[in-house]
Each structure stands twice: as structure tokens, then as C-alpha cells.
Amino acid sequence: MNEKLKNNPVMKVLLGNSRLIVLLIMVVVFTVLTSGKFFTYKNLINILYAVSLYGIMITGAAFAVLVGGIDRTVSGNAALSGAVVAMTILTRGVGGGNVALAIFLGLGCGALSGLIHGLILSRFNIPAFLLTLATNEVLYGIVQFVTGNQLIYIRECALMDYIGQVRWLGIPIPVYIMIACVIFSYIVLNHTVYGRQIYSVGGNRISSELSGVPARRDILIAYIISGFMGALAGFVLSSMNQQASSTQAKNYENDVLAAIVVGGVSMRGGSGTIQGAILGAFLIGVIGNGMTLIGVDAIYHNMIKGLIIIAAISIDMASVPGSPLNNFLRKFKKKKA
């Protein structure tokens, strides 16, 4: 490649991020395969709309992964917050002040749930994966309890109507909320002391502690952010659907986790970016949407997502010297040469 092209700023961004190239290729491929149906305004907005929800969750869950843990309760927190918001509005009647109370309670539940997880996980050496798997069940149990296992319709709540229905400049409000969350996470991770400490603790907790970093506090805060963002996503989801249910957002955590991993955030903590994770969400969103458009049945989606996670991590692992895959590739290259 010639030097001029290499120094072009657009090319620089592309070369630095293989996932962006994959995303663009996917967009082109699906556009061609659907003879343009993919690349219509309406469909692109659909993708944005669908991804926005995962995006909000990712901006929280990424903190847990970066600090060296994992948080599978984003879905449970979303369901809980949706249910709490809906129930508060229902029991208190509709009115401006009560909506504020509802939102406060809903998001507060998420933050509280994050606080509890953070307290346990920063203190004890428990696999975060298993703990949050179990507590997610608890959260859904609480949601069933709160909602009485009924679908709850939220009507006549002006704010939620507005979030769910209105578009600014042709783009749905949840997309703006996602953008705001991404900006928030980006700033925290890149421009604050706390963000620096997150990466440091995720990369080497012992050395960070010996440098005076309050690792336990940092882990605690990461889970609070994760819980809060999950709850925010739940509120947005309830606004989109004008309802809350006891199965709301169920299994979303798998997609969130998949996006984070596909987006290049290391499961071992300490490396990865929020941009990457969001890009991962778009990759998965685009693949899902594209597959639907070209007529791949939705039942294949779970399977393909599973394969994508395995493929994404394998590619990362293949670059680690000493791993079997890396050895294999080296042998293969030698044979070829």
C-alpha cells in the first residue's frame, strides 16, 4: 500500500480497527445480497433502534468486564427497573412528579443491585460469572413477584410515550440515550482517574493495590455503573414497548456479553475500549438484521451468535504465543513456506 494512502486519516482509523472493516464488509455484503433492501433508511434505523438497547447495557457491563469480572445481571436489572417503573406509575396514578419518582426508584433498584454484587465480588474470590448467573435468577424472581407475573401495560405516561415514539431528526430517542451513555462511559474510561484505575486493576490488581489504588472500591463502582445502565436500558425498553413483563430483556445478557467479546474487550480484564464494544454490538446487530432480511430463520441466530463468540475469542487467542492454535498456525505457515 502506498504511503499517501496509509497516512490518510480515514485509512488510519480503518487499519487500526479490523472490526470496523468487518462491519463495513458486512454492510456491503448484506446490501448486495438483499439487492439494496438492507441499506435503506428504514432498515438502518431499525438496526440502530435494536442496537441502542444493547448499547446502553454494554456501556455499563463493559466496566465489569474491564475491571476483571463479568456482569450477567444486566438483563435482570433491566427487567426489575422496567417492572418497578411500571408498578410505581400504576399504583401512584399518572402524573409528572410520580414519573420522576418511578424513574428514580427503577434506576435506584439497578444501582442497588450493582452495589450488592460489587460488595460481594470485590471482597470474595467468587467467579463473577456464576454469582451473577445465580443472582440474575433472583432478580427475575423478584420481578415476577413485583409484577405478579402479569404483563403490565403502561399507558398515558407522556415521558415514556415520548421516548418510545418520538424521533428527533428522524432518529428514535433511545439512540440518543445510547449515544449519551457511550459518551459518558467514554469520558469516564478515558478522562478520569477512575477510568485509569479500572484498566489498571483489571490488568493487575496486586500491583495496582501496591500503588495505592483502592481496588475494592473501584470494583464496587464498576458493578454499580453496570447495574445502573442495565436499569436505564430496562426503562428505555419499557418505554419502547409501553409495557413491562416478568420476562423482559430475558437472555439479553448473552448478546451483551457477545458484543463485548466480539468488540475486542478481553475477558481477562484490563484491555479493550467502549468504542470497540459498541462496534461489536453493531456487528452482531447487523448480522442478525441481515440474516433476517436474506431469509435466514430467527432460530439460527442463537447458534450463529455462539459461533461468533467462539470465533472472535479464538482469533484473539491465536495471537497469544504458546497457545495450541498459535502453535498450529505457526506450523502451518512454516509448511507453506
Partner 1 sequence: MSENKELLFEMKNIEKIFSHVHALDHVNFDVRKGEVHALLGENGAGKSTLIKILTGVYTKDGGQIYMDGKEIEINSREDAANAGIAVIFQELSLIPTLSVYQNILLGKEISKFGFISDSAEKKQIQDLIDHYGFPVKATDIVETLSVAQKQMVEILKALATDAKLIIMDEPTASLSSRESELLFKIINQLRDKGVSIIYISHRLEEVFNLSDRITILRDGKNAGVIEKEDIVPSEVVKMMIGKEVSESTASRTLKTSDAETVLEVKHLTHLGYYDDVSFEVKKGEVLVLTGLVGSGRTEVVRTIYGADPYDSGQILFEGKPIKPTISKSVTNGFGLIPEDRRTQGFSPLLSVTKNVALTSYDKIAKSGFVKASDEDKLGEKAVELTDLRPANPKVKVGDLSGGNQQKAVLGKWLTRDLKVILIDEPTVGIDIGAKDEIYNIIEGLASQGVAVLMVSSDIAEVLRVAHRILVMREGRVIKEFNDGVATQEDILLASSGYVENQEEA
Partner 2 sequence: MKQMRQETIRRIISLVLLVVLIAIFTFTTDTFLSWDNIATMLRESAFVGIIAIGITGCIITGGNNLSGGYALGMICMVFAHLYHYTSLSLIAIILICLLAGLVSGAFNGFVVSILQINDFVATLSTGMIFQGITYILAIRNQYGSITSEMIKNPTILSLGGKFSNGIFYVTIVWLVMTLIMQLVLKKTKIGTYIYAMGSNRKSAEYSGISFIKIKMVVFIIAGFCSFVGAMFMLGRLGTCDVDTGAALSLQAISATVIGGAVFSGGRGDMIGTFIGVLIMQVLRNGVLKYGLTTAQQSIISGIIIVLMLVFDAYYNEYMQKRTTRAAAIAREKEGK
Could you list the residues that contact partner 2 (CB under 8 A)?
Answer: 120, 124-127, 129-131, 133-135, 137-138, 140-145, 149, 246, 254, 257, 261, 267, 299-307, 309-310, 313-314, 317, 320, 323-325
The DSSP string of 248-317 is: TTTTHHHHHHHHHHHTT--TTSS---HHHHHHHHHHHHHHHHHHHHTT--GGGHHHHHHHHHHHHHHHHH
Task: Answer yes or no whether residue 212 interacts with partner 1 by CB under 8 A.
Answer: yes
Q: Supply 143's cell numbers.
A: 420481578
Sole window of 42-50, 118-126, 206-214, 277-285 interacting with partner 1 (rule: CB under 8 A): 206-214
Sole window of 132-140, 186-194, 276-284, 315-323 interacting with partner 1 (rule: CB under 8 A): 186-194
- Where would I find the beta strands (DSSP E) of 55-154? 152-153
Picked from partner 2, partner 1, none, the partner binding residue 38 (CB below 5 to 8 A depending on kind) is none
Q: How far is CA 35 from CA 28, 32, 45, 253, in A?
A: 10, 5, 18, 33
What residues contact 224, with CB distance under 8 A and at least 6 apart?
111, 114, 115, 118
Q: Supply 80's cell numbers.
A: 426489575
Cα–Cα distance, 247 to 224 (Å, whole number): 22
Picked from partner 1, partner 2, none, the partner binding residue 127 (CB below 5 to 8 A depending on kind) is partner 2
- Beta-bridge mates of residue 152: 244
Q: For the segment 214-233, give every residue that binds partner 1 (CB under 8 A).
A: 214
Sole window of 27-35, 69-77, 157-165, 201-209 interacting with partner 1 (rule: CB under 8 A): 201-209
Task: Answer yes or no whether residue 208 interacts with partner 1 by CB under 8 A.
Answer: yes
Task: Answer yes or no whether residue 193 interacts with partner 1 by CB under 8 A.
Answer: yes
Task: Answer yes or no whether residue 19 interacts with partner 1 by CB under 8 A.
Answer: no
Residues in the chain: 337
Site string for partner 1, 270-289 (x = CB under 8 A): xx------------------
Q: Which residue has the cell 407475573?
A: 149
Nearest 5°: CA angle at 54, between 137 and 133?
Answer: 20
Cβ neighbours around 166 below 10 Å, total = 9
* Residue number, 190 or 327, with CB nearest to partner 1: 190
Write phi, then psi, for 168 (nearest 5 degrees). -105, 130
Cβ neighbours around 216 below 10 Å, total = 16
Using CB under 8 A, count the residues that bind partner 1: 22
Residue 190 Cβ, how far from partner 2 at the closest point, in Å?
Answer: 26
* Residue number, 147 or 185, with CB nearest to partner 1: 185
Residue 261 Cβ, how far from partner 2 at the closest point, in Å?
Answer: 7
* Residue number, 133 or 203, with CB nearest to partner 1: 203
Question: For binding to partner 1 (CB under 8 A), which residues are involved?
Answer: 191-197, 199-200, 203-204, 206-214, 270-271
